[in-house]
Amino acid sequence: MPGPKDRFPNPFLPKAPWNGLEQFREPLCYELKGRAFQLVMDNGHAYALHFLSEEMIAWGEQGKALRWNTYECLKLDDVTYFVNWEVFGAPLRTCLTLVLDLKADLVTAVYAQIGAVKTCPYLVTNEIIFGAIKAPGKPLNTMRHAYTPDLVGRNIFWRYSSNFGITHAFITEHFLRVPIGQPRELPPDASPEEIAERDKEYERRKQHLFEIPAFYIKIREDVYFFGFIEETECRLDPTLCGNSLIMVMDTNKIHDVGRCFASDYENHYAPQNFVFSAFGAFHDTPDLIDGMPSPYRIF
């Protein structure tokens, strides 16, 4: 949200109606309207997916009734669509996210829930299911998207809005860290109080390694599906929210589209589920997190 300290305040929008991650979101994609897909998943089930309109989707398991939900879609490139919806009426908050790869006729799905872990009621849990799209007149593709180490050791700084960006450090095949970075820049005439506050905040960052479980899946050359759950924080303090972000990215353009499935602990645990876009830059900036042993896990 733009505020008085924003470096780039928007004169057309003193108060943004969206979350800070959403500003650079591209227009929603309505191209799939009217299209239907048969998804044959590796969990042993086949599903129908029918995009009824620009906002309504009907879906269901083979032989069962289809039910409809509202959905959002973003298009990464001419053959890669990111589709997201929250299941209406489920006993636990449930979110389905798909990467439809129309180049290879493959699909990877993420089935996410909030509330499945009783001790951490706001923690998101993910199940990743691979599968294929049955294309008319073609045999089912037996290939699958797959987990990859391609991104390990790389850092990307992502810009989500005029005033917010963050680096993702892909430290292993299963974890992601956020670099500690440098102390915040202050104007030359900063007061002693401002300097003290800045130093305190920097010390806090140094003391608290942000490290969370993540997954990295290769869709094809230059296209990756990755995501993470803010589980570490939630495990340490169950009143926090173990939110989940999932993205599909083009590593050549360094651009991603994704979704955040979450609860807002600063706002009475209000449900959040929104899509976003980000634009990034690879970098190798050394950071204190490099080689730092994990205080949370043995690896």
Q: Which stretch binds another protein (CB under 8 A): 37-45, 69-77, 194-202, 203-211?
A: 69-77
Nearer to another protein, 40 or 79 (CB): 79
Choosing from 92, 135, 146, 281, the residue that interacts with another protein (CB under 8 A) is: 281
By CB under 8 A, is residue 268 in contact with another protein? no
Choosing from 1, 3, 13, 191, the residue that interacts with another protein (CB under 8 A) is: 13
Handedness of CA 262, 266, 268, 274 (dihedral sign): negative
The alpha carbon of residue 269 and the mean position of all alpha carbons in its chain are separated, in whole angstroms, by 19
- Report the SS3 class of residue 90: coil
Nearer to another protein, 28 or 270 (CB): 28
Choosing from 47, 51, 75, 243, the residue that interacts with another protein (CB under 8 A) is: 75
Buried b (16+ CB within 10 A) or exposed e, 44-63: eeebebbbeebeebbbeeee
By CB under 8 A, is residue 222 in contact with another protein? yes
Neighbours of 266 (CB within 10 A): 7
Question: Largest alpha-carbon pair distance within the chain?
Answer: 72
Choosing from 12, 138, 189, 268, the residue that interacts with another protein (CB under 8 A) is: 12
Choosing from 76, 112, 275, 289, the residue that interacts with another protein (CB under 8 A) is: 76
Q: Which stretch binds another protein (CB under 8 A): 63-71, 99-107, 129-137, 159-167?
A: 159-167
Contact (Cβ atoms closer than 8 angstroms) between residue 158 and residue 256: yes
Interface with another protein: number of residues (CB under 8 A): 41
By CB under 8 A, is residue 26 in contact with another protein? yes
By CB under 8 A, is residue 179 in contact with another protein? no
Place of tokens 């009824």: 52
By CB under 8 A, is residue 90 in contact with another protein? no
Contact (Cβ atoms closer than 8 angstroms) between residue 249 and residue 226: yes
Residue of 102, 75, 71 lying closest to 88 (CA atoms): 71
Handedness of CA 158, 14, 54, 59 (dihedral sign): positive
Q: Which stretch binds another protein (CB under 8 A): 27-35, 93-101, 133-141, 260-268?
A: 27-35
Name the residues that contact another protein, by CB under 8 A: 7-13, 16, 23-31, 75-78, 150-151, 154, 159, 162-163, 221-222, 251-255, 277, 279-284
